[in-house]
Amino acid sequence: MNIVLVSYEVDPFAKVGGLADVVGTLPKFLKDKVDKISVIMPFHKIVEENIQKYGLPLEKVTENLYPFSHSFKYPFSVFKSHLPETDIPIYLIKNENLFSTKDIYEYPNKDHQTSYFSDCVLTFVKNNLTDTEIIHINDWQTSLIPVYLKNNYRDDKVLSKISTVLTIHNLGYQGIFSPEILSIAGLPGYLYNIDALEFFGQINFLKGGILFSDIINTVSKTYAEEIQTDEYGYKLDGVLKVRNDDLYGILNGIDYNQFDPETDKTIPYNFNKENLENKTKNKLALQEKSNLPKNENIPVISFIGRIVEQKGIDLISEILDYLTLLDIQIVILGTGEKRYEELLLKYRDKYPEKLSINIKFDKNFAQLIYAGSDMFIMPSKYEPCGLGQMYAMRYGTIPIVRYTGGLADTVKEFSCSTYSGTGFGFYEYSSSNLLIEILKAIHVYKRNKNCWNKLIINAMNEDFSWDKSADEYLHIYKRALAKKRF
């Protein structure tokens, strides 16, 4: 089986969120189960910096290629590196003008950029990766690939043989643009049709991915169900229901080798279940780095993520005034919507002894937070899978979540009477529910140390490694090969 994964983000070449972790890790776990696996992504500006930072190789594979169908007849070149500590090739598609922004999602005409990229991928595959059997695309940015395949290249000797799998990491982002994009992208006008890419008078790239991919999956079982409902479907629930037979939910894993508190070189003190004193030392280091008073008895509650409504940031901001009355400290790391960033910074100025607000992207600081906090909050409005809660548990930090999507599939409600479970959670999306769960957790932390320590052990005993999920991907790849939709 020869597989090519295509993504806009791949860790460590370019990372904004969880998509990069998944595409940067999954191939490592599939490598020994398939004949060949490679990854393709855009050569974003940040990639050059990260290649140097991580000491990765870079060689030019080809240049002066032009996309077959796209109306932008700009040449592109392809460079090759590999995923760290593996021989898995990653091909980087380079065009000076289209992938030049500092932030990878900053380019003003994203429809031009992503459609150009999608057609370049297929041009490169046809020229250089002719034995490809499956293209595994991720999210709306790469969703035109199956659309090109099933419409423009259905008679092509190489490309017509390829099956496609689409992973939806977040249905909230769909790539909706004006209909002119069809002719710019060199796609047939008949696709402006309710049974194809038309979506309330516009063109929806993700809808194209859903309709034209052979198999679709999302990143947890619960989210796969939720997106078929009006509440979570973002107006694509009907289309997803049509594809219900080909829709799977496969929980993401995390890289247990890279994210291991016993060996992680990015944290000051390594620890394990038998040596939790070192977790406390990380807590003191975290307090120092966060400019908070150093005191191991004050519970530290953290949040890491994109500061957007999806992550329940509105709930957090609603209760900050109340939380600061308690004997706790809060550390927030993230970037996102300006209005929330500014609001959080205002609170930080009001309560500098209690709140540490860090508006930046910093992978090493994130590791210190996972290792040094006591509790990790993720009160998401919706959460396809969520990786933060898994990293937190791996580092003995107790998740407090809203039971939705992957959070419902990974966090088990803790009970002090049976000493079972791994965290705390609530169902109805409200700030008072979040507050109640935080208060419950603080109560256990302060009043019942035995119970809290058991909770830490339970969380650290969970297994979210990729092995099982990689087998499930193998299964859907086989199905995709068997089931080509024409």
CB of 282 to ligand ADQ, least distance (A): 16
**Tokens 């550390």 — which residue?**
331
Q: Which two tokens stand for residue 258?
A: 């890279």
Number of residues interacting with ligand ADQ: please give it, by CB under 6 A. Answer: 26
**Tokens 């090493």 — which residue?**
364
Q: SS in 3 state form for 316-375?
A: HHHHHHHHCCCCCEEEEECCECHHHHHHHHHHHHHCCCCEEEECCCCHHHHHHHHHHCCE
Which is closer to ligand ADQ, CB of 123 or CB of 228?
228
CB of 12 to ligand ADQ, least distance (A): 12
The CA distance from 228 to 84, in Å, is 37
The CA distance from 165 to 413, in Å, is 34
CB of 176 to ligand ADQ, least distance (A): 18
The CA distance from 438 to 403, in Å, is 14
Strand pairing partners for 168? Answer: 218
The maximal CA–CA distance of the chain, rounded, in angstroms, is 69
Which is closer to ligand ADQ, CB of 144 or CB of 171?
171
Which is closer to ligand ADQ, CB of 25 or CB of 287?
25
CB of 231 to ligand ADQ, least distance (A): 16
CB of 313 to ligand ADQ, least distance (A): 12
Beta carbons of 6 and 136 less than 8 angstroms apart: yes
Which is closer to ligand ADQ, CB of 90 or CB of 387?
387
What are the backbone dihedrals phi and psi of residue 346, each rounded to the nearest 5 degrees, phi first? -60, -45
Interface residues for ligand ADQ in 294-313 (CB under 6 A)? 304-306
Task: Check the annotation: does 338 bind a ligand.
Answer: no
CB of 252 to ligand ADQ, least distance (A): 5
Which is closer to ligand ADQ, CB of 69 or CB of 174?
174
Of 69, 170, 228, 373, the one binding ligand ADQ by CB under 6 A: 170
Of 141, 335, 373, 404, the one binding ligand ADQ by CB under 6 A: 335
Beta carbons of 139 and 206 less than 8 angstroms apart: yes
Would you give the distance in Å from CA 311 to the centre of its chain?
13
The CA distance from 378 to 410, in Å, is 12
What are the backbone dihedrals phi and psi of residue 81, each rounded to the nearest 5 degrees, phi first? -135, -160
- Strand order through the sheet with 134-138: 59-65, 76-82, 89-94, 36-42, 2-6, 134-138, 163-168, 215-218, 247-249
Of 53, 363, 468, 483, the one binding ligand ADQ by CB under 6 A: 363
Which is closer to ligand ADQ, CB of 198 or CB of 341?
341
CB of 399 to ligand ADQ, least distance (A): 11
21 binds ligand ADQ (CB under 6 A): yes
Q: Which two tokens stand for residue 268?
A: 């000051």
Of 19, 26, 196, 227, the one binding ligand ADQ by CB under 6 A: 19
The CA distance from 360 to 203, in Å, is 33
| Virtual torsion, Cα 11, 14, 15, 21, nearest 10 deg | -20
Which is closer to ligand ADQ, CB of 187 or CB of 300?
300
249 binds ligand ADQ (CB under 6 A): no
362 binds ligand ADQ (CB under 6 A): yes
Which is closer to ligand ADQ, CB of 90 or CB of 331?
331
The CA distance from 8 to 116, in Å, is 13
Binding part of the chain for ligand ADQ, among 14-22, 176-184, 235-243, 471-479 by CB under 6 A, reads: 14-22
CB of 270 to ligand ADQ, least distance (A): 19
What are the backbone dihedrals phi and psi of residue 13, each rounded to the nearest 5 degrees, phi first? -70, -45
The CA distance from 245 to 96, in Å, is 42
Which is closer to ligand ADQ, CB of 247 or CB of 387?
387
Q: Which two tokens stand for residue 385?
A: 């899978």
CA angle (297, 298, 299) in 5-degree steps? 110
Of 252, 282, 356, 422, the one binding ligand ADQ by CB under 6 A: 252
Q: State the alpha helices, DSSP H only, in 5-128.
A: 18-30, 45-53, 110-128
Q: Per-residue contact track with ligand ADQ, 201 to 240, x per CB under 6 A?
A: ------------------x---------------------
The CA distance from 89 to 83, in Å, is 7
Residue 234, Cβ neighbours under 10 Å: how many?
Answer: 16
Which is closer to ligand ADQ, CB of 77 or CB of 143?
143
CB of 308 to ligand ADQ, least distance (A): 8
Q: Per-residue contact track with ligand ADQ, 376 to 415, x per CB under 6 A?
A: -------xxxxxx-----------------x---------
12 binds ligand ADQ (CB under 6 A): no
CB of 300 to ligand ADQ, least distance (A): 16
169 binds ligand ADQ (CB under 6 A): yes
Binding residues vs ligand ADQ (CB under 6 A): 17-19, 21-22, 169-170, 219, 252, 304-306, 333-335, 361-363, 366, 383-388, 406
User: Which residues define the annotated binding site for ADP-alpha-D-glucose?
Assistant: 15
User: Which residues define the annotated binding site?
Assistant: 15
